A and B are shown apart, each in its own frame.
Chain A
């Protein structure tokens, strides 16, 4: 079956032009429109739920709401969403909520007014009730980030507690005992889950969780830097620091170096997310992969199931993506095999 790109190629026009023809936009010359229609016929192109879309007055846009556009994690996710949307001939509107529930609500209102065809919300702060209201506008949505048991909605999630547990367990295995945690911003549910994974690993190793070794960060490099400074000034400084995201871990490495200390021989550092930069910083950061690109792909696929009417009677989907420990150099292990078989 041909897709919109094949049609564009055959007709010698851009995907956008094909899309305009499909939407019966006025700014297409009749000659071009004819060429596109001929190409469609020749390729037996059936506009995937698109004819329906026209009747239903689609805008051929979906929106992605992310918490922080400056964190390189989220563009990875946007790429996943866009990979799929582009193949479907859709645009993606990107909204940066900055972990601000009021801003998130504003965006939602705007998006509903603009009649987007679907929404993907990453780490949303909205309550279940807020979310269910979107349904009244007949706009499908998919949540990504953490699991929500009590909400009948498509969710692509990962296990933040387990991912954190893996990182801390690794630090314990290498031999550290005084392990500190720089947590994510308190407003994010994910931060709570990461903290619980951190505590679980320590308790399992029969270590006490000491309040002085848990500092709150802000999910930014600065928070990691300041949190680490605070930890390094303790009379008994930690041997290892697990930061709730890679940006803070990078801030932590910077702070350790600024104190004239070395990572990992003086202080080990682990992060969470596996942003691309984490494999480039010195030393390369041991972290937990947060499969946001895949999350974006799958969320978009689920969303288009609804938009194209292919979701069927299946109950809502809750798809777990596996967090994975990525062993690199910042924690001072000597297990090269672990790195190779990451």
Chain B
């Protein structure tokens, strides 16, 4: 504990007592008991195992590609047998890990059987890993509310530990999927799994960078994750675990303000290392201290209240105005980015022609100096 900045980040999630709301998501960093232990040592409040299945198969190579800030993977499931997972889970548990076993099967009875087994191995909760966009067909279980319901129900009826359902963003209506999970008795939902993607094409060889359709993750998917979590929070009453593109405490808080109770991280931890967890946790403590927030309940869902229908958004006579001059002679983002040709810049002086400006607001977000505001015309 770090003296002055000490805050209690503990949360109760699906009845599990977590020292903080940050989990390491199902993926390559949670592939073995030893890795689970390392994640917990790095500060994670809980760990979600790599997807556990009845029938394992070898990993394809290559299966990861990063481009810009995003990552595509075509990775499938664990390479360990169920028998081996008994050992891995017990090992991580003996080091104090709170373990959520991510499992996948293809019928409700098969799913329930694996669930029962991982419960016996000592898992604290289950996450149904049904949302992978590759390896399970174009639209499978993850896109069918009725099937999701029956799979979830059969697991919930079978085990005594809480069950969380991981949702895919590759559907038209995530709220419907969340409600199916809730009606079937799930204790929580997590979202999002990766977004179906092809990250790029190598022009010289004329081939996609990875050899099949895969899942996109990392910072570029965060807005998709945020909207998903907001949607789900407004549709269902069970707690939500936010996933997608989280790499700092700011992102964690964004997810929480849109309704998440906990979060999971994968890609940023792959790229920045598990060490980055301690900074995220520290920054979270600091922010809560500075904002006098005693527990996450005070901020959870706060931003949802300001989400409006178009009918409720009043059309006000906003136009942009430059508050200050600009010291960066080389920057021309505001001028170039103005669709309505309303922004002008000469040397250090920036002006907005308020007769041309339509109040779109883009200059406010493109200006690195935050030189613009909107005001009533």
Contact = CB atoms under 8 A, between A and B. Distances in A.
Nearest to A340: B212
A72 interface: no
Nearest to B135: A341
A2 B88 CA distance: 10
B54 A320 contact: no
A87 B81 contact: yes
A318 interface: yes
Contacts of A301: 82, 113, 117
A322 B82 contact: no
Interface string B47-67: 000000011000000000000
Contacts of A298: 54, 110, 113
A319 B55 contact: no
B213 interface: yes
A322 B81 contact: no
Interface in B90-139: 90-91, 106-110, 113, 116-117, 120, 137-138
Interface in A279-297: 291, 293-294, 297
- Chain B interface size, under 10 / 10 to 19 / 20 to 34 / 35 or more: 20 to 34
B87 A3 contact: yes
Contact of B87 (A1, A80, A310, A324): A1
Main secondary structure of the interface of B (DSSP, over half): helix
B87 A321 contact: no
A88 B91 CA distance: 19
B87 A297 contact: no
A294 B54 contact: yes
B17 to A, nearest CB: 25
B121 to A, nearest CB: 9
B375 interface: no
Contacts of A317: 109, 113
Interface residues of A, number: 27
A157 B80 CA distance: 24
Given A337-B138, A340-B213, A1 B109 contact: no
Interface in B216-260: none
A320 B117 contact: no
A84 interface: yes
Contacts of A42: none
A87 B56 CA distance: 15
A43 to B, nearest CB: 11
Interface of A: 1-3, 80, 83-84, 87-88, 291, 293-294, 297-298, 301, 310, 314, 317-322, 324, 337, 340-342
Given A84-B83, A298-B113, A320-B109, 4 more contacts: A320-B108, A322-B106, A337-B138, A341-B213
Interface of B: 54-55, 81-84, 86-87, 90-91, 106-110, 113, 116-117, 120, 137-138, 212-213
10 contacts: A87-B83, A291-B55, A297-B55, A298-B113, A301-B82, A314-B116, A319-B109, A324-B106, A341-B138, A341-B213
